[in-house]
């Protein structure tokens, strides 16, 4: 009995087989090119386990259609990656394997991974935010991944611009939303260097924390999660964590009670495995529901 997992990312696909505890048994990574090519590798990988495969969990880059009653349920929808636009990823896997398929965002899957086996283990709610090329966030509330009419897109919330920040923002939809001002791409365009090369520039990370702290204030006020896990390439700059905690404290201004900030805002414990682990756990949940 094994569970399949697909972490579908904009640059790479990670596929894995896991056991009933969520542990990765075998994994492979393929570049995200076009569906005809990438999905062929995904299918070849799972074919080896076809006899034991119970279900597959897919955590995908988005936007995706997670509304069960929708005619395009299971599709990757309005992604800027043209080859994947309106692609029926769940349908393709279902046709190939005839097992139940769970489908959610990459960040919802990562939240499920962290709350079950990672930095928020034992809690009933947590958020997972990735600050990488873009910004995405998912959440688990009362043990369930957060979805409503669709899935949350918490990277695109509006934040107040810092009074000295003249960068216009680079979100193709909203210019200066959180992602447009604070994702890795925005840092690189604003400062003209790769984020990793700016490690010693305090101004960069103070400004970054200014935006992240506002987002965390909004998430805290709206969702009241027990823990917020922040991963993604940009957060490899660990000096940002204390700056974010300090600015969040100032913004909240004592209005609501938060957990101890050292425990509230943390890096992922599963590190780069949060997403793929969450996809295995999603497969397990999906099997139980079917
Ligand atoms: P993706 O978002 O594509 O899944 P990542 O989470 O690795 O991938 O994010 C890539 C972004 O993170 C890029 O903008 C890159 O410049 C930035 N980044 C990667 N490593 C670091 C680092 N050590 N310090 C700061 N920024 C980093
Ligand atoms: Zn946006």
**Closest ligand to Cα 177:** 2
* Pocket of ligand 1 contains residue 218 by CB under 6 Å: no
**pLDDT, averaged in runs of 10, over the chain (290 residues):** 96 97 97 97 98 98 95 94 96 97 98 98 98 96 94 97 98 96 98 98 98 98 98 97 98 98 98 96 96
Superfamily assignment of 119-268 in CATH? ATPase, nucleotide binding domain (3.30.420.40)
Element (H, E) at 5: strand 2-8
Q: Is 134 left (phi over 0), alpha (psi -120 to 50) or beta?
A: beta
Q: Which residue's alpha carbon is nearest to atom 22 within ligand 1?
A: 196
Angstrom distance (rounded) from CA 284 to CA 2: 9
pTM, whole model, 2 decimals? Answer: 0.96
Domains of the chain, by residue range, sit at: 2-106+272-289, 119-268
**What's the pLDDT at 81?**
87
The 10 Å CB-count burial string (b at 16+, else e) for 24-60 is beeeeebebeebeebbeebbebbeebeeebbbbbbbb
Cα 49 to Cα 2, 43, 161, distances in angstroms: 8, 10, 51
Binding site membership of 11 for ligand 1 (Cβ less than 6 Å): yes
| Interval between CA 103 and ligand 2 midpoint (Å) | 23
Tell me which ligand sits closest to the C-alpha of residue 205: 1
Domain 2-106+272-289 fold is Nucleotidyltransferase; domain 5 (3.30.420)
The SS3 assignment for 68 reads coil
**Residue 206, class by beta-carbon neighbours within 10 Å (0-12 exposed, 13-18 middle, 19+ buried)?**
middle
Report whether 238 contacts 245 (CB < 8 A). no
């Amino acid at each position: 009995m094994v569970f399949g997992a697909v972490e579908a990312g904009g640059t790479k696909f990670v596929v894995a087989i896991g056991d009933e505890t969520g542990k990765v048994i075998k994994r492979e990574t393929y570049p995200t090119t076009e569906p005809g090519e990438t999905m062929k590798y995904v299918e070849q990988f799972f074919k080896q386990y076809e006899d034991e495969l119970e279900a597959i969990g897919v955590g995908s880059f988005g936007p995706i259609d997670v509304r069960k009653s929708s005619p395009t349920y299971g599709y990757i929808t309005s992604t800027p990656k043209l080859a994947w636009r309106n692609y029926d990823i769940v349908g393709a896997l279902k046709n190939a394997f005839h097992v139940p398929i769970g489908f959610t965002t990459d960040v919802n899957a990562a939240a499920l991974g962290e709350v079950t086996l990672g930095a928020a283990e034992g809690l009933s709610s947590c958020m997972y935010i990735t600050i990488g090329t873009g910004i995405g966030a998912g959440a688990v509330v009362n043990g369930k991944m957060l979805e409503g009419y669709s899935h949350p897109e918490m990277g695109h919330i509006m934040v107040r611009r810092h009074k000295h920040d003249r960068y216009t923002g680079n979100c193709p939809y909203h210019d200066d939303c959180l992602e447009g001002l604070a994702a890795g791409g925005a840092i690189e365009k604003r400062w003209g260097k790769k984020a990793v090369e700016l490690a010693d520039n305090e101004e960069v990370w103070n400004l970054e924390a200014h935006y992240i702290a506002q987002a965390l204030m909004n998430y805290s006020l709206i969702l009241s999660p027990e823990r917020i896990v922040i991963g993604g390439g940009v957060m490899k700059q660990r000096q940002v964590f204390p700056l974010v905690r300090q600015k969040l404290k100032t913004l909240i201004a004592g209005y609501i009670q938060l957990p101890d900030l050292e425990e509230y805002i943390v890096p992922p414990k599963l590190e780069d495995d949060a997403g793929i682990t969450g996809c295995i756990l999603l497969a397990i949940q999906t099997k139980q529901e079917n």
